[in-house]
Structure formats: C-alpha cells, structure tokens
Amino acid sequence: MSIQSQLDQMVSEASPLIAGCASLVELEDIRLQFLGKKGALTEILKGLATIDAAERPAIGMAANQAKTALSTLLDDKKSELETASLAAEMVKNAIDVTLPGVGTPLGHRHPISQTIDEISQILGRLGFAVEEGPEIESDYYNFEALNIPDDHPARDSHDTFYMMSGHVLRTHTSPVQVHVMEREKPPIRIIVPGRVYRRDADASHSPAFHQIEGLLVDEKVTFAELKGTLDYFLKALFGAKQSVRFRPSYFPFTEPSCEVDVACVLCQAKGCAVCKHTGWLEILGAGMVNRNVFRKVGYDPDQVTGFAFGVGVERIAMLKLGIPSIKLLTDNDLRFLKQF
Amino acid sequence: MKVSFNWLKELVNVPVGPAELAERLSTSGTEVESVQPVGQDITGVVTARIESIERHPDADRLVVTQIFDGTDTHQVVTGATNVFVGAIVPLSKVGASLAGGFKIKESKLRGVPSNGMLCSETEVGVAAESNGIWILPPDTPLGLNFSEYAQLSDTILEIGILPNRGDCQSMIGVAREVAAIFKLPLKMPDIKFSDSNSKSEWTIRCEEPEFCPKYTGRGMTNVKVGPSPIWMQRRLQSGGVRPINNMVDISNYVMLECGQPMHIFDASFFEAKTVGIRFATEGEKMVTLDGVERRLPAGTGVITDGTKAVAIAGVMGGETSGVSDKTTAVLIEAAYFHPSKIRSAMRQTTLRSESSVRFEKGIDFKAIEWASDRAAGLVEALGGGQVTGARVAFVNEQHSAAQAKKIAFSAAQINGLLGSEFSEAQIADALKLLGFSVENGHAIVPTWRLLDIQEWPDLAEEVARIVGLDQIVTRLPLPNGLMPEPSPVRKLQTQLSKRLVTAGFCEIRSLPMISPEDAARCGQTPGAETTMQNAFAPEESIMAASHLPRLLNTLAYNLNRQQHDIRLFETGQVFGAQSGEIQETVELAGLIEGRETPSDYTEGLQSPQVYRYLTLKSTLESVLAPYKLTFSAGNSPQLHPIQQQQLTIGSAVIGVMGQLNPKLAGQYDVPATSLYFAINLNVLATVSVETPKFAPFSKFPSTRRDIAILAPKSLPFSDILTVIHQHKSPAVTDVFLFDFYESEKLGADKRSLAVGLVYQDLEKSLTDDDVNKPQEKLVAKLTELLPVTIR
C-alpha cells in the first residue's frame, strides 16, 4: 500500500472515532493513537526511507496535511467537549437565583423629613438657604417682634403652650425671621423648616407639627415676586399644571396678607370632602413683611421690602402621599414608615 | 359669623346666588367657611292654636291636644312640656314634609290617634337645637302657610372673621363688603320713632374715660315685654341667637344688624337713675345673668347703678338688672369699651359673649348713636315703649377711637409694594368703594376701620383685594448672590440620617413632650425652663432632654404591634437648661432590637444572627466616616454598666452607645438586648475633619505572620492591641483579629485570640529574617507584659 493510501486510510479511520468520542480522556487516547510518538502517523512515516528522494517532498506535504486535518478535528472536538463539560458543571453547581435577596434592607426616612427635603430643594433653586432656630422661645420673638402685642386678637389663633419659666413653645417658625434679620443685613433669602407647637389637639391637629417659613427681603421686592415664588414652588411640588389661587387674608406680621390655595389635588378640583366641596385646598399663608416687623429689627421700611410665607409640612405630606390622618405621622408605626 | 342670605338681600341688592357670592367674598378677603341651605322643602306646616290639652290615658309623659288651624280641628299627641292652651304653634299636618325629608303620617301614640305634629325650630330646619315647641306670637294669624310666613327657606353663609375685621361681625358690615365688590349701594335700615328733646332723667358717671370713651343711655317707658314678631325671631335664629323676649331680642338684633353690642337694663333697678362706669375693686363680686356669682378681677370694667356693679362692661349683664316679664321701663345702653381691656376681662373671667367678641376687635365709635336710635325705634315699634327724654351720653372726644385717621399715600408707593401698575383713579375708586375718602394724596379711613388701617400698605391691601389679586403679575425674584451653606449641624443631620437609612434604620419623628415618669427613668431632672405650664396632660408636660424615652416608647409600640427586627433613629432638638439659660441641642439617637438580617428564610441558610454590640460598632464607624471614631469606657446610668462605651473622636466625647440597662428595658417592656446610641451633633460639628493626603503603597510583596494568644477572659482585647502597637516593627502595616473562640477545652475563664500582622516595606522585599526577628521580639513582649500564653 502506498504511503499516500496509508495516510488516507488513517484519516478516514480516525475521523469517525473523533466524532464519536464522548470524553476528554478518550479524546486524548485517540490523539495518542494516531498522532502520538508511537502513533499511526509515526508508523506510516517510517516507510519514508524506502521512497525516492524526489518523491519525498510530495509525500511529506501529504503527511503534514493529514496531520493538520486530524489535529483540527481533535481541537474542535476538544473544545466542544470542554464547553459541554463546563455547562454540565454549571448546571450541577447552580444555586436558585430566584430566592429573595438576603441582607439588611434599606431603612426609611420619615415622610416629614422627605417632604422638608423636597421643599428645601425646590426653594433652594430660587436661592433660599436653610436657617433654623430654637423651639423654646421668648414671648418677644414669638409675638411682640412679629407685631402681635399682648391682648392682640390674633393671639387667639395661636393656642400657646407656656413653660413654667414664662417662655413659650414657638407657635410658628416666624421667630427665626426676627433672629436672622437682627443678625444680618439685607438681602435676606431664607427658609426655616422646623417643629412648632399649638395647644389644639383633635383628630385633625397635633400639639406639635412642622412648618416651613420663607423670607425674602431686599430693595424693591413686590407682591408680584411673592406670587411668582409661590406659583413656582407649588407647581414644582404638585405638578406644572397645578392651578394656584391667591386670596386676601390677615396676618399681623404681613401687610398685605394672603392665603394661597391649590386646586384640590385629590378630586382634581371637582369637589370632595377634603376640599369641603370648594375645589380648592388652602395650602399656605403669605404676605409682604409688615413695616412694624422691619422697625423691630432695625431695618428702614422705606429702604427695603420683603415677603414671607409659611406652609404646613404635614398638610403637604398628607396630600402628596395620601395619608388620611395626622396621627399616623406621629405614631411612628413601622408599617406606616416602611411605605415611604 | 352666620349671614342670612335673605337678610343680606334687604341691605344690598346681591346680583348673584349664594354660591357665587361665597366665591366672590372669599377671593376679596372675606372667608366663607360654608354655605348651608336651611328650612328648604318644608311643606304642609300651618299656624294653629291649641284649644285644649288633656292627659294621655296611658302615658304619663304624653298629652292629647286639640288644635285649630282656622278651618279644622286636629287631634295631636305630643310629649312637649312647654305648650299651653291658647298657644299658637306651627302644626305639621298629615302629609307634611319636614327637615331632612321627614314625612308626617296618621299615627297612634299609645293607642290614641294623632294627626300631625307640633313643631320646634329644629323640625322646620332653622335651628340646630330647640327648647320644646316653637311658641309663636299671640297675634299670629291661623292657617297660614308657615314656610312662607316665617320665610323658613334661606341660605346661611358662615363667615370666618379675621382678627382685623371686627367691622364684618354684622350684617351691615358684610353688606358693605358685598356692596363694594359689586359696586352697588348699601341700603341702611330706616329709623322711625318719636324722640324727645326734654332733658333726660338719667345721669352717666364715667370714671374711666380711657376704658369707656363713649357711653350712651336712653330711657324708655310703658314697655310691654312679650315675644318678638316672627320676622325678628327668624333673623335671630339665622344668626344663631335664640329668641327670648322682645327687649332682649332687640338688643341682639341691633347687634347682629350693625355690630354694636347693646344692653337693655330694667330701668327700675337704677333707683338713682345714675349709671356709673368704673373698674372693679379688689374682691368685688357680682351675680352674672347665667346665675353664677363671680369674683370680679380687679381692674375689670363694670357698669354700676351709681354704687354697686350691675354688669361686667361689654362682657355680660347681671342677673337682676336684666329685663323680665314685669319690666315696664328700660335703659338702652350703647357704648364703646376699650378692645384690649375687654380682651383681658374675657381672659380673666373666661367669659366670652357675642358682645365681648365684638368689643375686643373694636367697634365703630361714630355709629353708637345710630345703634341706640335703632334700638329705640324697635322698642317703640315692637314693645310699645316711649322715649322718656333725650339720649344722654358721656363722650371722651380726646380718645384715640374718636380721632379721624388720615393716611398719606401715593400710587407709586402702592404699585411699588404690589408690583402692579394701577392708575391713580383705579386706586382712588377702589378705596372709595370701601368707604374711604380720598383727597390730595391722603385717604381718610372709614370710622369702622380705624383699628385695622394703620399705614399705606394697608391701603395697598384694600386696593389689591378689591381690584383682585389676580390682577397683579406673577414674576420670579431676580437671582441673588452666593447662597450660604447649611449650618454644619444641619449638614451632619442630613448626611448621617441618609447613612443610617442605608444601614437599614427607620427615622421616627415623635412628639417632643414626655411624662415626668419618662424623664425620671431616663435621667432627666426637668426645671422650669423645660416644664410646661399648660400641657394637655402630665404625660406630655416635659420637653425631653434626649430622644431615649421616645425611642423606647416607639420601640414598645411597634413590638406590641408584632413588628420585629427594629432599627429606629430620631434626630432633632433636645432640651435642657443651665443656670436659667435654655439649651437646645441637636441629637441623633437610635435604638435597635432583633436580628440583623430580618428575612425569615435565612434561618435555613445561616443561624439567625442576633444584633450584637460589635455590628452596631462597625455601623457607627461607617456612618461617622471620615471621622475616626474611637471607643472608651462609658458611664451612662441608662445603659448596661459594662456593655456600654463612649464615642470619642480625638479628645471630643460625641456620644454614647451600649446595651440598655436591664432595669430601664423592663420599665418599657422592651428586650434587654436592645442597643442604644446617641450622638450630640453640636459637639460633632466642632470636630474638624482633615482632608486625606495620599500615602504611597509598596510595590514589594507583603508577608503575614499570625500570633495565637490564649488569654484570660477578663483581659480586654484593647490591652493586647495596645501592647502589639507599642512593640511591633515599623514594617508592620496592618494588625487584625482573625479568629476568636471560647470553649470548655480552653477553660471557662480563657479565650483564644488569633491576631494577624502584615509586614511590608516600601523599598524592598522583606527577607525571613526581616520578619521573624521582630515578630519573635513582639511575642516575647506579649508574654512578658500580659498574662497570656502563645499557642
């Protein structure tokens, strides 16, 4: 048999063996059988000595081709078997990835804190910086300096808690206005988030709740900027399509004063129990700073004007998050807190 | 204040319905709290006279009446006790429809047929409550359609009175607003009566011209006291006032109509025909018309009969000096009392009346005479009285309330404050609609607005609310310069809160008021600065000095509601005082209970890991990074005497952490394994943080050596660590505990601690000698200095 025929026979003999091989060990045996040092190819090439020198290159080339062909088949099969074995291993060792996650779940900030953060961020875009102040106040800062002298009927709406020492628990965040204006010269642009206290607790009131006060004092500030600021604020808070309405009102520390309503966010202004069938929700009080307040802090009311506003944080949180009772906000039931 | 739409229409020709009126009032500054239809859809009720009353044969509490409606007689059984033969009452006949859609049918009450029902004010829908059957005036014709006759159908607008708008506490006051909004004339009621020019027999002696700058009195005689006509009763009802008799009703009516509180005295009570006004003396007493003997606070204004007090001026009349059925002569009082004096009288006596709430907000000094005349006219018309002499008055013309008020303003000022572009004419027109006179850059304030209108910005408000706030443009303020940073405390509060949330904590916000018991348990000794005078209850009377009591209560609350594996924190002000100065500190505190990984199924994967001290330690280290937190021995009585530490940064003590003192845990019924921490953010904010500087790390390999130490349990690990740090080679870059165990084999008082040390040099690879020699020296030092053996 010619060497060429032997080579052809080797390839045709090896090919089905490789194709039918099922393991890497077996495959290595096949490789050694045909291409190993003592394998079929080596045996065939021993016959080369008997061949004419002139024919040797052609036969050598044929031998190389046969070797390459077998090597390719072996490599392909090896890679195929490796892939399959890896896949089998992965299946064998796989965990159930559909089990729930394990670990400490994220905690929750209180809805009031979240609301204060949101409001502070919105007003921060307009340049309002956060200020804070004491919760136990003197009568002067809580009332007198804000143009609410003793025996003023407006004190009725501020059911006040008094301390044994004669101090008051602040009934609004407005005293911080006075502290800041006493300390700094205009322009002033601040917001004051904080806890305030009123002595009226029923289903819809809590003896302590949160307000955010805003104050802007500068030259030539007008009611138009007050409207602009609150319109922007309420639209950023409740959505760009939110209707906002300004109603004249009274606060001793502002003149003119107004209350601001938004179209009821619960019934889309159609009228419901929450908006008392008016389609409007009262959301904040505001006004141009009363000249008497400026006088108290030593500002010249002919030189500067300003506006102030106050918003109840609980009310905003309840409206935005659909919280039906203010009590939920002070009970700190985890089943409540974990919802937000 | 309740405003009857029917009554309002007589004072101003309201061009819109009640709902639209409410809207217009609200947007111009008069808040309408509700719009309530009353007395509507009442049919089948007629006026009828009770002809006889007999006892019900089978019921003690019922009577059988025969009642005549001008045509027919009906038998009606009633349980009412105020009926009498001859009384004219509203009778709802069979088929009648009453308030709330209630239908009258033929019926039998305890076996006796009853054809209809006698009505009270409540049943016909005009009052929330009533005192028995509505007894109508004796001259009421019989058989009238009562709904039409009594004008039952009306709409009541409930108006919220702003503290500065005392002038709106009357029908005329509200009508003035309505007239201004719709640019319509106000129709003032006519006053008709036979006045007298003869000198009054009455004398007014006012000793307090500042408190009472005006007091008018008018005597009338031949008065017949009886029920008021139905129209007046209806108006009083619509204003929420119960009709009593014509004299009392007239004083209330005039007050509701024009806002001037009136008082009608029985003249016979004033033997000397002298009325005095003075302040109550120390210990003076008087019986008010509610029958209560009251000690009058010294300095309270009183009306006297020349000597003794007969009324608390402006607040409440006396029991004996009021009008009774036997009264034949009266004195009509109309006066001005100082608002803040009335207010303090109200506060001191805790009495509040329709009169006092009007005086305290200031009444129209110039309209007192009108009110007095109006009352005289009504007494003549309804009570047959005759004036006994000219109206007598004390007037202090020097009083501030008597002075006309002129306010300088310019359109530029008003537009400058409002950001509007109103013309001078627009501004003047708006002011004139509200009763101001405008001339040469001045506005003269209407007499009913003197207390409210102080400066030109008040005029700006008046203009804005009448022209409409929607007529002012909406414009953002110009950007200002640099925005200051939040305070360091606030920054910490926000940052640390967010990190605690990441570590699984839930933030609570609880009421800062705690009970004296809470305070005592948690180590607070509250002083006057932190104790409330007028708390709702002792349970909420102390301003808390730490978040601990609230956290404990909240933990217990949630445990009681089957919550578990709880991590809570709270941040905010806590309260204390030092030498009389209130100190408010911002504290961040937390309380944890239960397992670290709350998912129940993980029990199958790993043993449930109970929260332990050490995990909280590392949590706090992470939360407080980049501060380098260290721990030292703690001494808080609220915590476990051994399992607690102070949190320190450098030399600053910033807080505390530890297991609850078991006694405290027991008091709050929370597990004694619960852990607490508190950080004083005011102190933390004073600790500076250095910006990190790059430190080079080695290119050469590191070498590790371990030491297994057998130590007594009583030896704190920190002692071992201290020795290692003192005697280790400079080439050691890291020291760490990697194994810890206790077992019976080791001995009950022993434990094994394995510490790893990492050796590494910046410049070269370390040889075995470089590492082994210092390691051996260190091991020798450990056994020399500490009661340990190396295993």
The confidence score (pLDDT) of residue A49 equals 79
Residue to mutate among B26, B530, B578, B601, with most A CBs inside 10 A, is: B26
In this complex, do B510 and A330 lie within 8 Å of one another by their Cβ atoms? Answer: yes
Whether A177 and A137 have beta carbons less than 8 Å apart is answered as no
Q: Of the candidates B486, B501, B530, which has its C-beta nearest A109's C-beta?
A: B501
Residue A151 class from Cβ within 10 Å (0-12 exposed, 13-18 middle, 19+ buried)? middle
Interatomic CA distance for residues A337 and B506, integer angstroms: 7
Inter-chain CB proximity A334 and B469 less than 8 Å: no
Of B477, B485, B532, the CB nearest to A229: B477
Contacts of A236 in chain B (CB under 8 A): none
pLDDT of B605: 45
Any idea where the domains of chain A sit in the sequence? 3-92, 113-337
Q: Find, among B541, B474, B550, B485, the residue nearest to B513 by Cα.
A: B541
With contacts defined as CB-CB under 8 Å, which chain A residues touch B511? 206-208, 330
| Whether the Cβ atoms of residue B16 and residue B24 lie closer than 8 Å to each other | yes
| DSSP, residue by residue, B753-785 | EEEEEEE--SSSPPPHHHHHHHHHHHHHHHHHH
Rounded to the nearest 10 degrees, the angle between the axes of helix B368-383 and helix B246-258 is: 150
Nearest neighbour of A153 by CB, restricted to B361, B420, B475: B361
**Cβ–Cβ below 8 Å for B457 and A288:** yes
Interface contact flag, B164 A250, Cβ < 8 Å = yes
Sort out which chain A residues have CB atoms less than 8 A from B561's CB and list them. Answer: 333-335
- Please answer yes or no on whether B532 and A218 come within 8 Å at the CB atom: no
B668 touches B556 (CB < 8 A) = yes
Question: Which residues on chain A are in Cβ contact (under 8 Å) with B418?
Answer: 222-224, 256
Model confidence pLDDT, tens digit, residues A121-148: 999 999 999 999 999 999 999 999 999 9
Strand partners, B703: B759
Q: Is B433 in contact with B389 (CB distance < 8 Å)?
A: no
By CA distance, what is A201's nearest residue in B?
B536
ipTM for the predicted complex: 0.86
Distances (CA, A) of A59 to A2, A66, B562: 10, 11, 88
Chain A hits for B505, CB-CB cut-off 8 Å, are 107
Tell me whether residues A291 and B457 touch, CB distance under 8 A: yes
The pTM (predicted TM-score) of the whole model is 0.86
In chain A, which residues have their Cβ closer than 8 Å to the Cβ of B460? 255-256, 288
- CB contact under 8 Å between B344 and A151, yes or no, is yes
Q: Which of A220, A224, A335 sits opposite B474 (nearest CB)?
A: A224
A255 to B457: CB separation less than 8 angstroms, yes or no: yes
| A223/B418 Cβ within 8 A | yes
CA distance linking residue B565 with residue B600, whole number of Å: 11
Q: Is A47 helix (H, G, I), strand (E, B) or coil?
A: helix
Mean pLDDT by runs of 10 across the 340 residues of chain A is 85 91 92 90 83 83 89 94 92 86 88 97 95 96 92 76 94 96 95 94 82 96 97 94 92 95 85 81 94 96 96 94 92 96
Cross-chain Cβ contact A225/B419 below 8 Å? yes
Chain A interface, best mutation among B475, B478, B602, by max A CB count within 10 A: B475
- CA B363 to CA B451: how far, in whole Å? 9
The residue of chain B nearest to residue A160, with distances taken between CA atoms, is B534
Interface contact A250-B534, CB threshold 8 A? no
Written as six digits, the tokens of B387 are: 């004036």
Which residues of chain B have a CB within 8 Å of the CB of A169? 532, 543
Candidates A97, A131, A136, A147, partner chain B, best to mutate (most B CBs within 10 A): A136
The pLDDT of residue A104: 81
Which residue of chain A is at minimal alpha-carbon distance from B20?
A278
Mean pLDDT by 10 residues, chain B (791 residues): 96 95 94 88 91 91 92 92 92 89 88 91 85 89 90 92 92 97 96 88 94 96 92 93 93 97 94 94 90 91 92 91 92 95 89 92 95 96 90 94 94 96 95 95 95 94 95 91 87 96 96 95 94 92 96 97 94 93 96 74 46 84 93 94 94 95 95 94 94 91 94 92 94 92 85 94 93 94 94 84
Kindly report the nearest CA distance between residue A316 and chain B, in angstroms: 16
Residues of chain A contacting B461 with CB distance shorter than 8 Å = 248, 255-257
Which residues from A are below 8 Å from B480, CB to CB?
127, 187, 189, 218
Q: Do B29 and A330 touch (CB under 8 A)?
A: no
User: Which residues, 6 or more positions from A224, have their beta carbon under 8 angstroms from its beta carbon?
Assistant: B418, B419, B420, B472, B473, B474, B475
Asked if the Cβ–Cβ distance from A163 to B531 is below 8 Å, we say: yes
Taking an 8 Å cut-off on Cβ atoms, the answer to whether A248 and B501 are in contact is no
The CA angle B500-B504-B508, to the nearest 5 degrees, is: 70
- Closest Cβ opposite residue A163 in set B344, B501, B529: B529
Whether B511 sits inside 8 A of A208 (CB atoms) is yes
Q: What topology does CATH give the domain A113-337?
A: BirA Bifunctional Protein; domain 2 (3.30.930)
Q: Return the residue in B24, B506, B623 with the most chain A beta carbons within 10 A, the one to mutate for interface testing.
A: B506
From chain A, pick out residues whose CB is under 8 angstroms from the CB of B582: 134, 136, 165, 167
| CA nearest neighbour of B727 among B778, B775, B790 | B778
